[in-house]
A = this chain, B = another copy of it.
Amino acid sequence: MLDRSIIEKLEALVGKENVLTSKMDLVAYSYDATADVPRQAPDVVVLPTTSEMVQEIVNLARANKIAIYPRGSGTNLSGGTIPLKKGIVLSMQRMNKILDVDAANLTAVVQPGVVIAALNSAVAPFGLIYPPDPGTVTTASMGGSCAENSGGLRGLKYGVTKNYIMGLEVVLANGEKVRFGGKTVKNVTAYDFSNLFVGSEGTLGIITEITAKLIPAPKYRRSMMGIFKTLQDAGNAVAGIIAAQVIPATLEIMDQMTIRTVEDFANIGLPTDAKALLLIEVDGMSQDVVTAEAEAVMNVVKTNNGDLHTADTDQERDQLWTARRNALPALASLNNTVVLEDATVPRSRITDMLVACENIGKKYNLTLGTFGHAGDGNLHPTILCDKYNKEEISRVHKAVDEIFEAALGFGGTLSGEHGIGIAKMKYLGNELGQSGLNLMRSMKEALDPEYLLNPGKMVPLKEV
């Protein structure tokens, strides 16, 4: 429990209305969207409105050795925002101004609390988009998605968050504010700090301003659904589309378990006897190119024994994407706990990984569905379970261990877009080796020697 005098100092710094200490508020900030990780209520939640306030809060925390847990909208899926050591939750939600939209330079400057969808609404009148679109695009914040380097449905063609961050302002653990990058499309001045802080999950600094890259909105698109009788056919079709040198904006997969659950949940007429669906959207600036790409996709689907349905109207398109966006909520409705992973493999190993996930589910007698960004090799094997059933949870843990083992065996990685947080820290050594873990710790201690910022995430706390 923090000394009352600290709370009073925080109130003096940011205003009483921006300091939360009620039991209800503290419980509300004790968790995020991640299942099967510990919960911990903080001592206090502080909502600064300027970067100077952030500096003062950091200085106060450092002087009193209080942990700081930076937080956007709390939608992350690796336990990245849980206040393990109590301390201060630093919510950036009230730093939510769009500071600049510069259509001539294709850039926007925003505060970290701006919701991704709000940025897209602001740039739409200029014919522009900010492409990164995690499933939580209507709630996730720019700061949080930078800290997590979020992916999303359009990642295959348009890349992930880090591909769109041109500059940052960051408050460091020593209280200093640094700015790097900016509106120039090329910049090799200094080390690439923007990319270092993007994806650092709040463990190296607190992002207080973001310069983001925008692109012209694609003018044409075509959405399609491929229906397959085997996982292998679906996986081969994914590889075939890429091999045909078509890069769809979106190339998503759902296995039978996911298809059936979504259909039960949303009643949109999905083919529940299919073993796998591919949801595909090609887009671009030219009707002809989009048409040619759609035809190439059709051919690949047919060659791999799939049936192809095309969305001919906006309504049909929306229905298709509703299916995909409902995958997680539908699965989540089945039981009290959803363990959602994001093991990622090279594209050519997608089929192997799909089959491996299916087999692991069977081996441990678990309700396991897989969906995800097939074109990126970024799958979401998802286990529905009962957190009160200890025996089942122990099977879940064994299955998750094997999923990661399989992904690394296929030349893959622990996380394609959800981050390490606390959920995957124990696997890090398997991918990075001891020298990689040492490098992580060197980096952490160079920027945050006292483990003040989001302690216990990405880099394990030191044994004392």
Contacts and interface: CB of A to CB of B under 8 A. Distances in A.
A386 to B, nearest CB: 29
Contacts of A413: 182, 184, 186-187, 189
B245 A216 contact: yes
Interface of A: 102-107, 127, 148-149, 151, 155-156, 160, 162-163, 172, 174, 176-180, 182-193, 195-196, 198-200, 204, 216, 239, 242-243, 245, 284-286, 288-289, 292, 344-348, 373, 376-378, 411-420, 424, 428, 431-433, 435-436, 438-440, 442-443, 445-447, 458
A21 B442 CA distance: 36
B189 A431 contact: yes
Contact of A376 (B149, B186, B192, B376): B186
Contacts of A447: 439, 442, 446
Given A104-B239, A190-B420, 13 more contacts: A104-B348, A163-B163, A182-B413, A184-B346, A184-B378, A184-B416, A187-B416, A190-B428, A191-B204, A288-B289, A289-B289, A443-B443, A446-B446
Contacts of A174: 438
A440 B172 CA distance: 13
A187 B442 CA distance: 21
Nearest to A194: B195
A436 B186 contact: no
A180 to B, nearest CB: 6
Contacts of A376: 184-186
B192 A196 contact: yes
A50 to B, nearest CB: 17
5 contacts: A186-B378, A188-B416, A189-B428, A284-B289, A443-B443
Contacts of A182: 346, 411-413
A311 to B, nearest CB: 22
A285 to B, nearest CB: 6
Contacts of A431: 189-190
Nearest to A435: B176
Given A104-B242, A439-B193, A411 B186 contact: no
Nearest to A434: B176
Given A411-B183, A432-B178, A417 B189 contact: no
Contacts of A418: 188
A196 B195 contact: yes
Nearest to A347: B105
A415 B189 contact: yes
Contact of A186 (B193, B286, B416): B416
Residue from A187, A193, A458 with most neighbouring chain B CB atoms (10 Å)? A187
A361 to B, nearest CB: 22
Contact of A104 (B104, B187, B199, B347): B347
Given A191-B443, A199-B191, A180 B436 contact: yes
Contact of A187 (B102, B172, B344, B458): B344
A450 to B, nearest CB: 14
A288 B103 CA distance: 26
Contact of A417 (B127, B186, B198, B439): B186
Contacts of A193: 439
Nearest to A104: B348
Nearest to A107: B346
A278 B44 CA distance: 58
In order of increasing CB-CB distance, the 5 nearest A-B pairs are A446-B446, A195-B195, A186-B416, A183-B346, A176-B435
B439 A172 contact: yes
A106 B439 CA distance: 28
Nearest to A217: B245
